[in-house]
Amino acid sequence: MDAHLILLDILLILVFARILGDIARYFSVPSVIGELCAGILIGPSLFGWVEINSTIFLLGEIGVILLLFEVGIETNLNKLVDSGKNSTVVAIGGFLGPFLGGFFVCYWWFDLSVLVSLFVGGTLTATSIGITVRTLGDLGRQQSQEGQITLGAAVLDDIMGVILLAVLYDFSVNGSVDLYSAGRVILFVGIFFILAPVLAKIFSEGIYKLDRIMPGTGAIPTAIVALVLFFAWLAHLFGAPELLGGFAAGLALSKRFFLPFGMAVKTSLRFSEKVETQIDPIVKLFTPIFFVSVGLSMDLGTVDWSSPFFWWFSILVLVIAIFTKFTGALFIKGPISQKIAIGMSMVPRGEVGLIFAGLGASANIFTNEVYTALVMVIAYTTLLSPFWLKLYYSKYGHLLSEQPGLDIESLKVEKLANEK
Amino acid sequence: MDAHLILLDILLILVFARILGDIARYFSVPSVIGELCAGILIGPSLFGWVEINSTIFLLGEIGVILLLFEVGIETNLNKLVDSGKNSTVVAIGGFLGPFLGGFFVCYWWFDLSVLVSLFVGGTLTATSIGITVRTLGDLGRQQSQEGQITLGAAVLDDIMGVILLAVLYDFSVNGSVDLYSAGRVILFVGIFFILAPVLAKIFSEGIYKLDRIMPGTGAIPTAIVALVLFFAWLAHLFGAPELLGGFAAGLALSKRFFLPFGMAVKTSLRFSEKVETQIDPIVKLFTPIFFVSVGLSMDLGTVDWSSPFFWWFSILVLVIAIFTKFTGALFIKGPISQKIAIGMSMVPRGEVGLIFAGLGASANIFTNEVYTALVMVIAYTTLLSPFWLKLYYSKYGHLLSEQPGLDIESLKVEKLANEK
């Protein structure tokens, strides 16, 4: 393919993402919806101007990894650990609920095979960290208590989803489940999440020194992107999704991540701010490419709208996909309004669901009808959840704890420590 | 190819470009040399870790387009027009000299066919704007008089090179030259360079307004990159190289480009600065990918080092490639030290020469020996010219007019105009 044609594809993606994102924002809807719609509009579903190809997929991939890096930088690790118990409950509920619900409705109601039923259940377990985080960010709720619980749960969900995918894939190929390989994946991911932030912190000290020795030579953007890509690759090596590598690198560079023995306290605050300023334009450039590419990968034109099985199947699976995601939230302590907000934030399936469904389709496990119905369900949860969430917050947001904003006091203490 | 493997390729490119660029800078050598060497090191010539693929090529392409955009922003159009006559003389000399020299040495000395001789001549006409500009920038000479003359000449050379390529390609396919299609290319490029800056200026006003209405939503990075890509695509449509589109868009957004009737005087200065601050990290991220990919596309391992024809051919062509680039500079007025500096700056062939040589090879016009010899010549001019230029400036730089730096007086006048 000619380079100038891909340049044109990227151009169309950036322009339509911007226009539809701005229209969404004008109607007070999260702009991520506009960007997803941009993908549907210019993709095979409607105009067919842009087809997803490996380059666009990769740019989108870099976009979502960098987004998770920025989320990591803005994450208060203490808060994430504080909400760790709640996140775990929400994640396990939001994993088991959809998995069992999806499996049983397929196996008992629609008489599908065990393997197909397992894959449908697996597809429903996913939680789209990218879309969840972006939506909460658009609503200014990322730092809130329920935002932190959801973020932690989405991260855990992604890890559990990948482990399940590895196990089910084994099962579909060999007809049996290999507990050893499942255990290895779990072990690797665990080691990765303990080692990665420490390693990233050490590297970032090097970048900090480089930037002081040679200012103005572009050390920060290149080195930080390289660092993020390295951790994405490392995550893949450990069997975890790439975007979790970006998150781990971001965590390490966040304002409130400190190594044992206070090794890095002195440089943290100013350096974090410099990194954020210089990386932000790059993140803003790449991230929309990811959301548009999710829209591009859906082809609503292939759906057979007249099949009764299709309608029954997609409606029942959709109901299960939505309500089972509330399972975990019901078991944690807190006001009912918070439980609902968390449950709603967990609904979007997005890219992870599409990866699952795509694997099922390419391995000939799903019939075309089952596949398109699942894509419909994913499209619905992905496109409309941000909208419902926005509506919910505008009606009941006052019942929830307010967005705490910047923690001014602790920043002051850090600043004093820096100046000493 | 798996996404995580390309992520690893990009990671290696960024890291090695940074390390070798920093080592070069440590020894007071332009860092672009380090980046080219990084490509040779990790590419097929030595380690073979990274192979150039369409995604890396595209990212490099975006890098060089953005680099030319930044060059355009920093260009003082008045100065470029002032040096227009000299640039034209340098460009025509630096085009005809290598073309005729290359043709005659092949045709009469080495008894090669007319077509092969024409293609060798064509390959030698190229001037690598990217490497020339980057080297002058690394030396702090981009705004100097000879820097402006060279920049203008390199732009004109690129346009003439593309027209010649179109004509020769026609000749190789049809056995005759179609003057109509050559004339059309010239006309299109002319129209493009008159219309593009005006069009870009109008669009940039829109971006400026968008940024004022919705600050902090990432309007500038996305919209500017989209604008640059649009002009790159438009340039291709008009038959010009894509990177000239980036240059035209940059010119339009430069601090000193004004539309007729003073349409845009009010917003220019502050907006240009904002664009530069936000685009700079993106340019610094992508540009090294281009220079590394030039190194990646060379395979020094395929050279047959024992053939006498190979040595004679490459040495003679190299001598011609270097000395004929001084042809144009000899005809302009000015001190001899300036003429030498301009001639030396015109020597690097870089990407444009490689495109020419690659086309000759893929159309089976060049034998493997001729091709590798040409690649050697291109490699030598590309890799060592920055080095010689640096040495020349350190010895004789004091004879040349000093780097004028920022034109404080005219900035003050503009600022006053802005404040009114």
Q: pLDDT digits over B211-244, tens only?
A: 777 666 667 888 889 889 998 888 888 777 777 7
- Token pair of B354, please? 């490689």
Nearest partner of B147 among B241, B69, B96, B80, judged by Cα: B80
Instruction: Give the chain B residue nearest A242 (alpha carbons).
Output: B4
pLDDT at residue A360 is higher than 70: yes
Q: Identify the pLDDT of residue A93.
A: 92
Q: Answer yes or no: do B11 and A58 touch at CB < 8 A.
A: no
Residue B222 makes CB contacts below 8 A (sequence gap 6+) with A14, A17, A18, A284, A285, A288
**CA count, 13 A, side-chain hemisphere, B36:** 25
A257: tokens are 């991540």
Q: Lowest mean pLDDT of A1-10, A108-117, A386-395, A408-417, name the range.
A: A408-417
Task: Answer whether residue A401 shows pLDDT above 70.
Answer: no
Structure tokens at B395: 């010895």
The pair of three-digit structure tokens given for residue A116, joined into one six-digit string: 């197909």
Burial environment of residue A372 by CB neighbours within 10 A (0 to 12, 13 to 18, 19 or more): buried
Cα–Cα dist B227/B250, whole Å:
10
Q: How far is CA B75 from CA B154, B170, B199, B252, B271, in A?
A: 14, 35, 18, 10, 16
- Residue A383: how many CB atoms within 10 A of its CB? 20
Any idea which residue has 């597809």 for tokens?
A123
Reading the block at residue B145, the tokens are 């008089």
Which residues of B fall within a CB distance of 8 Å from A284?
Answer: 218, 221-222
Chain A contact set for B17 (CB, 8 A): 222
- Band of the pLDDT at A264, cuts 50, 70, 90? very low
* Structural contact between residues A150 and A132, judged by C-beta atoms closer than 8 angstroms: yes
pLDDT at B9: 92
Evaluate whether B205 touches B222 at the Cβ level (below 8 Å). Answer: no
Distance CA B279, CA A222 (A): 13
| A335-360 as b/e: b if 16+ CB within 10 A | eebbbbbbbbbbbbbbbbbbbbbbbb
Query: Tokens 């000619």 sit at which residue?
Result: A2
Cβ A1–B54 below 8 Å, yes or no? yes
A303, containing H or E segment? none
Measure Cα distances from A260 to A201, A204, A409 in Å. 11, 16, 22
Residues B42-64, buried b or exposed e (16+ Cβ, 10 A)? bbbbeeeebebbbbbbbbbbbbb
Note the pLDDT of residue B41.
93
CA terminus-to-terminus distance, chain B: 57
Q: How many CA atoms lie within 13 A of A163 on its CB side?
A: 19
SS3 assignment, position B299: coil
Of the candidate ranges A38-47, A325-334, B397-406, the one whose mean pLDDT is the lowest: B397-406
Q: What is the pTM of this model?
A: 0.78
**If you measure CA to CA, which chain B residue comes closest to A5?**
B233
Q: Is the pLDDT of residue A270 over 80?
A: no
Mean pLDDT for the stretch of residues A15-28: 85
Element holding A266 (H helix, E strand): none
**Nearest-CB residue to A7 (from B219, B222, B229):** B229
Q: Which of B128, B253, B149, B140 is nearest to B196 (CA)?
A: B253
Distance CA A156, CA A171 (A): 23
Nearest to B11 among A11, A230, A288 (CB): A230
Q: Which helix (H) or strand (E) holds B239?
A: none
Nearest by Cα to B235 from B192, B266, B278, B198: B192
Considering only CB atoms, B222 lies closest to which of A1, A3, A14, namely A14
Looking at the predicted structure, is the pLDDT value of residue B245 above 90?
no
Nearest-CB residue to B6 (from A58, A222, A225) = A58
Distance from CA of A288 to the nearest CA of B (A): 9
Please judge whether A58 and B218 are an interchain contact, meaning their C-beta atoms are less than 8 angstroms apart: no
- Residue range B95-106, pLDDT digits in tens: 999 999 999 999
**pLDDT cut 90: percent of chain B above it:** 12
Per-residue model confidence as pLDDT tens digits over B154-198: 888 877 877 787 677 777 777 776 677 677 777 877 787 777 777
Closest residue in chain A to residue B17, using alpha carbons only: A222
Helix (H) or strand (E) run with residue B419 in it: helix B408-419
Q: B117, B116, B124: which is closest to B95 by C-alpha?
A: B124
All residues of chain A having their beta carbon less than 8 Å from the beta carbon of residue B15 are: 226
Task: Please name which of B321, B342, B379, B288 lies closest in space to residue B151, comparing C-alpha atoms.
Answer: B342
Given a contact cutoff of 8 angstroms between Cβ atoms, the answer to whether A32 and A291 are in contact is yes
CB atoms within 10 A of CB B100: 16
* Residue B142 banded pLDDT, cuts 50, 70, 90: confident
CA angle at residue A144 from A139 to A150, to 5 degrees?
Answer: 85
Q: How far apart are CA B392 and CA A13, in angstroms?
A: 46
Q: How far apart are CA A149 and CA A175, in angstroms?
A: 37
Contacts of A395 by beta carbon, 8 Å cutoff, 6+ apart: none
Interface test with A, best of B222, B237, B293 (most A CBs within 10 A): B222
Is the CB of B22 less than 8 angstroms away from the CB of A214? yes
* Residue whose tokens read 């369900």: A377
**Å between A329 CA and nearest CA of chain B:** 32
Tens-digit pLDDT profile for residues B313-351: 999 999 999 999 988 888 888 888 888 888 998 898 866
Inter-chain touch B10–A229, beta carbons under 8 Å: yes
CA atoms within 13 A on the CB side of A222: 27
Rounded Cα distance, A341 and B130, in Å: 52
Burial of B142 (0-12, 13-18, 19+ CB in 10 A): buried
From B298's Cα to the closest Cα of chain A, the distance in A is: 19
CA distance A251 to A268: 12
CA–CA gap between residue B293 and residue B39 (Å, rounded): 6
Provide the shortest C-alpha distance from residue A226 to chain B (in Å): 5
Contacts of B42 (CB under 8 A, 6+ apart): B12, B13, B16, B49, B50, B292, B296
Residue B42, pLDDT above cutoff 90: yes
Give the pLDDT confidence score for residue A382 in this predicted structure.
Answer: 80
Q: Is residue B137 scored above 70 in pLDDT?
A: yes
Cβ atoms of A56 and A13 within 8 Å: the answer is: yes
Residue A101 has pLDDT above 90, yes or no: yes
Name the average pLDDT for chain B.
80
- Residue A255's pLDDT is what? 62
For tokens 């990866």, the residue is A355
CB-CB contact of B38 with B44 (8 Å): no
Burial of B107 (0-12, 13-18, 19+ CB in 10 A): middle
| Ramachandran sector of residue B407 (left: φ over 0; alpha: ψ -120 to 50; beta: rest) | beta
How near does any CA of chain A get to the CA of B234, in Å?
Answer: 9
Confidence of residue A290 (pLDDT cuts 50, 70, 90): confident
Q: What is the pLDDT of residue A263?
A: 46
Number of residues assigned to chain B: 420
Taking the CA of residue B48 and the nearest CA in chain A, the distance in Å comes to 19
Average pLDDT over residues A236-241: 76
Q: How many CB atoms lie within 10 A of CB B148?
A: 23
Q: Which CATH number fits domain A3-419: 1.20.1530.20, 1.10.10.60, 1.10.540.10, 1.10.240.10?
A: 1.20.1530.20
Distance from CA of A298 to the nearest CA of B (A): 19
Contact B14 A288 (CB under 8 A): no
Mean pLDDT of A371-383: 83
User: 3-class SS at A48?
Assistant: coil
CA torsion, points A130, A136, A140, A144, in degrees to nearest 10? -110
Positive or negative: CA dihedral A187, A190, A194, A200: positive
Tokens of B55: 């995604």
Q: Do A18 and B221 touch (CB under 8 A)?
A: no
